[in-house]
Each structure stands twice: as C-alpha cells, then as structure tokens.
Amino acid sequence: MKPQDIVVLAKLLSYQKKKKNWTQATLAEELCLSSSQVNYALKRLLQAKLLGPIFNKDDNGGKKLVPIIQFCEEFLIHGFKFVFPPEFGSQSPGLPTAYAAPPLNKIIVSGNV
C-alpha cells in the first residue's frame, strides 16, 4: 500500500455516507492526484479486500466499487500502524528560526539572556 491509497479510501468512505456517485476522474480531481494514481490505488485497495465490487442495476449490470466498512474499520483501527510504522531518525540541527538567524539575532533577544 501507498499513503495515497488511504486518502482515496477515506474519500470513498465519505462518499458512502453522502450516497454520492463518483468516477476515477472526479476522484482524481478532488484529491489533486493523477488518474493513474487513483487507478492504481483502487487496484491496491481491491487486492487488500478493503473495496469490493457490487453490481449496479441502474447501470445495466455494471460494477461499482464500494468500501467494505467492517474491513476498513478493522484496518484503520488495528492494521494501519503495521502498514505505515513510524520511522524515527537521528536528531539533526535543522534551520535556525527567523529570530535566531543573522542578522536578526543581533536585534531580537530571546527570553533567557
């Protein structure tokens, strides 16, 4: 899985509540992703069994992908931390804050001086 898969899943879950129809193009536009990213995310979500096809009677027997709520809930509560574990690195100095960087460090004095 990739992080954008979770974003696509969350958007599909929000559509379920609103009973909103969607296409890959509208999904891509609303999430600021490319159509191919959405397509691959849907394929990965199907493979992970977080989405499932249902047959739509209104669309002449076409298939529609919908989130499987029980699996999504279980994954988001219990599985998410295993798929995307936090990675802690070593400490690094970073960049000085605006008041600590030259030339402002001579004009602005911090609290413990």
DSSP letters along the chain, please? --HHHHHHHHHHHHHHHHT----HHHHHHHHT--HHHHHHHHHHHHHTTSEEEEEEGGGTTEEEEEE-HHHHHHIIIIIHHHHS----------PPPGGGSTTGGGTS--TT-
Percent of the chain topping pLDDT 90: 45
- Tens digit of each residue's pLDDT (9 = 90 or more) over 48-62: 999 998 876 665 556
